[in-house]
Every structure is written in C-alpha cells, then in structure tokens.
Amino acid sequence: MPSLRPVDDKPFTDLHYQEVLSSFRRRADERLAVYVHVPFCHVRCLYCACDTTVTHSVEKVDQYLDALEREMDMVTRLVGRGRKLDQLHVGGGTPNHLNEPQLARLMEILECHFELSADTVTSIECNPRRSSVGQLELLYGLGFRRVSFGVQDLNADVQRAIGRVQSLNMVRDVYYTARETGFENINLDLVYGLPFQNQRSFLETLGQILELAPDRAACFSYAHDPSSRPHQHAINVNHLPSADEKLALFENAVKAFSDAGYRWVGLDLFVRETDELFDAQREGRLYRNAIGYTTMPSTQVLAFGPSGIGEVGDALVQNEPDLRAWQKRVNSGHLPVAWGRQLSEIDRRRRDAMLYLMCNLQLPASSAADLEQEYKRLCRNAEHGLVEVSEEGIRVTSKGRYLLRGLCGQQDDLVDWGSSQWRFRVPS
Ligand code: SF4
C-alpha cells in the first residue's frame, strides 16, 4: 500500500478511486478526456522537471505498454469500455521515444478501450531530436492532429548548458515536415530562466521561433530545484539569470509575441488571434484541466501511466510517479493511486476560483462570499498594483499578469494551481 494523502482523517485509496470511477459509469453523457504519460527519454536534459526514466531498452518500453493496457482494462471495466473521447493527449517524458511499432501499439490499446472519432482533439508531445519524416507520418496516420515540440532555446551556449543540443536547422526541418504532413496545430515550447540566457540571445531565439509561425507557443519558467531534481546540480547557479533578468526575459517574450500578432493566454501560452482559446479568454469562458487550457468546461480526465493526474467527478487523483512502483501496482491488479482527494465543497470553490482567475484574469465579487480569506488575500495585492478591486470583483492588472502564477499558486494547500504542470502539495 503506498503512502496516501490523508483526507478528512481518511486516506484516499485505490478503493476510493474505484468508487469514483464506478459512479462515473452512470454519467455516460459527460465529456471525457484521456491523458497518457509516457515516462521515457533517451537522455536526461539537465533542466528537466518531468517524471521520466532514461532508457534504451525496447523491452522496458514494451513492459510499460503491457502495464498501460492492464491499467486501461481496470479503469474501463469500471467506467465502461468504448466511451467516446472528446480529447486525447499523450505527454511525457518523450512519447516519440517509442519506436514505430510501439507507437502503433499505444494507439491500438487506446482504440481498444475508448472510442476515438474525427471530433476527438488528439495531441502528442514530441522531441524534435527523436522526430523523423516516417514517424510524423505514422503519428498523423494514427490520428494525431496536434503536435507540440520542445524547443526551449536555440542558443548553442544555452543548449550545451542544459544538455539539449538541437540546431535551428533541425528544428526547422522537423517543424516544416510536421506542417507538410498535415498537422493542424503545431505548438513550440520555450523555457526562460535557463543558464546563459540573456536578453539578446533570447530575442534571437524568439525571432527564429516567430519565423516558423507556430499556431501556439508556450513559454515556461525554469524552476531550479536540485534538492528534488538532483540532475539539476549539473547546472551552475552562477550561470542562471537573476530574478530581475528572468522577469525581463519573459517580458521580452510577451512583447515579441504580441508584436507578431499573438495573444497571451493564461499563464504562459501565446496563440493567434483567431485561436479559440483567445476568444474564450476574451469572453470569460476559458477553462483549464489537468491537461491544459480548454474551451470545454467540466471535462472528466482519466490519466494513465506513472504520475498522470486525473479529475473525475469531485476527485483529483495522481498515479504513482515512479515507473517501477506504478508497474508493480498495476501488475498486482490495483489502481496505481499515489495521492488523491475527494474535493470538499470548499476545495472545489477554491479550485474553480483559482482556475477562473488564471484563465480569465478576473474573479467576480460573488466569490468573496464563499472564499472570504482567499478573496481578502488577493485584494491585498492591490497595494502593489497587481490587481484592481471594484464592486464587480478583482481584475488582474497588466503588472499583476506577470505574477499571475504566484497569485493563483498561493491560495491552496492541495495543489499548486499556478504551476504549468499540476502537482499535489504532498505533506512531508
Ligand atoms: S525530453 Fe523533456 S522529459 Fe525528457 S529529459 Fe528532456 S525535459 Fe525531461
């Protein structure tokens, strides 16, 4: 039995999750998304904050796929097999670390348990260094229509310092191949706050990215935390930009994307003006779930693979993050729950308010009745010009926008909602 987070003096166990999933079976008309975590990479980037394992063993990946199939068997036995999917996202790790037969098998496993249609929004994260013409064609043929490539930075000094060398020519080739293959939405990820990054070099990277004209681009903040990610010890802190320089890097990114006609959505995403996410943000109907920003409210998320976070009904559940522990639990016939929480009424209100603030940059005054403390705490940020408070509610200012992560992240002891990748705040 893993160490489970106590909730109301009771642990959230795999048995609780079984109940949650069984009751979801009766709600067949609810929107459903699936997240699959592929926990493998061919090499560890030094800045990495993901749950992943470096392997070159085909057998190890095959064993993961065997366990994934078992996990989907267990879950769909409870929620019903063949349920229609509104969204599928395959992330990692490096999903395209899988070889071609393994990618085909992954899709086969999914199709055997869920119904994917032309309306299912299908996306996959890819490492450009592992991409090829044949692989992108295969992924397209398997039904993926959105692809996200990790670029991070195109400067050679930065790339060497983070252990991720990929030339502009290679990124360009992969990007245009994905376009020619027919992917409808291409996202490029950047990271700011990396060693050796400076305003000049980052502007150069931004210019090169903008020349490619991706549909979306995310610009994530690097968090240096070698105590929980020991490989980050290899990054020399003296080469990291200061807090002020880091903020200026992000300001430059916002300006570069805005000047090129992109619109800033949520914490760190830039989209074209015609993107549905921008319309949704403008109209106050942008949402965020465990997969990312969405225009679809109340989507249930089933997560598979180590560390995946799911949201079903009022429960938030995270799988065992360690690959071997996850595999062991699945292979012994247990749902691999590591942490979970049946959200109370107040948990739910807090989550909804924080996500609404993050997505729509405002919080109606009516929230104050339910979340008095959190509302007051947010109002105090008006002294620093981060929010404006009126009779209608709280509105994040353009200055506060840069600190939105902090505004949303400090309000809850359950999950860091302000993080680009949700993580349970696990009690020590
Ligand atoms: S490719 Fe991504 S998940 Fe893999 S080591 Fe690099 S940053 Fe981490």
Cis status of the peptide bond prior to 292, with omega within 30 of 0? no
Mean pLDDT over residues 188-201, rounded?
A: 98
> Any binding-site annotation on 256?
no
pLDDT more than 70, % of the chain: 93
- The single-letter DSSP state of residue 16 is H
User: Per residue in 374-408, is it b (16+ CB within 10 Å) or e — as a string?
Assistant: bbeebbebeeeebbbbeeebbebbeebeebbbebb
What is the spatial distance between Cα 248 and Cα 65, in angstroms, rounded to a whole number?
A: 43
**pLDDT tens per residue across span 325-356:** 999 999 999 999 998 988 888 888 888 888 89
What average pLDDT does the chain have?
A: 92
- Report whether pLDDT(171) > 50: yes
Q: Which SS3 state, helix, strand or coil, does residue 90 take? A: strand
Per-residue pLDDT, 322: 95
- Model confidence at 178, pLDDT cuts 50, 70, 90, reads very high
54 lines ligand 1 (CB under 6 A): no
Q: Which of 96-105, 127-136, 285-294 is predicted least confidently?
A: 285-294
pLDDT digits (tens, 9 = 90+) for 367-425: 888 888 888 989 999 999 999 999 999 999 999 999 888 888 765 666 665 565 666 55
The mean pLDDT value for 286-301 works out to: 90
Which ligand 1 atom sits nearest the alpha carbon of residue 93?
A: 3
pLDDT at position 351 is 86
Residues 297-314 have a mean pLDDT of: 93
Does 305 appear as a known binding residue? no
> Looking at residues 275-301, what average pLDDT do you find?
92
For the cut 60, the answer to whether the pLDDT of residue 8 exceeds it is no
Torsions phi, psi of 186, nearest 5?
-115, 125
Q: Give the separation between CA 193 and CA 14, rounded to whole angstroms.
A: 39
Q: Is the peptide bond before 93 cis (omega within 30 degrees of 0)?
A: yes
Pairwise CA distance, residues 173 & 320, whole Å: 37
Residue 394 corresponds to which tokens in the numbers above? 């709280």
pLDDT computed for residue 368 by the predictor: 80
State the Cα–Cα distance between residues 225 and 176, nearest whole angstrom.
35
Per-residue pLDDT at 420: 57
So what's the pLDDT on residue 423?
A: 62
Domains of the chain, first to last: 6-311 (3.80.30.20), 345-421 (1.10.10.920)
Give the angle subtended at the CA of 41 by the CAs of 35 and 47, to the nearest 5°: 95
- Ligand 1 touching residue 281 (CB < 6 A): no
Mean per-residue pLDDT for 210-226?
96
Distance in angstroms (rounded) separating the CA atoms of residues 110 and 95: 14
49 is in an annotated binding site: yes
Mean pLDDT of 275-291: 93
pLDDT, position 370: 81
Q: Which of 42, 48, 153 best tests ligand 1's pocket when mutated (most atoms within 8 Å of CB)?
A: 48
Q: Whose CA is nearest to atom 3 of ligand 1?
A: 93
Q: What is the rounded distance in angstroms from the CA atom of residue 340 to the CA atom of residue 426? A: 10
Q: pLDDT tens-digit profile of 243-269? A: 999 999 999 999 999 999 999 999 999
Question: What average pLDDT score do residues 81-95 get?
Answer: 96
Q: Rounded CA gap, 34 and 302, in Å?
A: 5
Q: Band the pLDDT of 10: cuts 50, 70, 90.
A: low
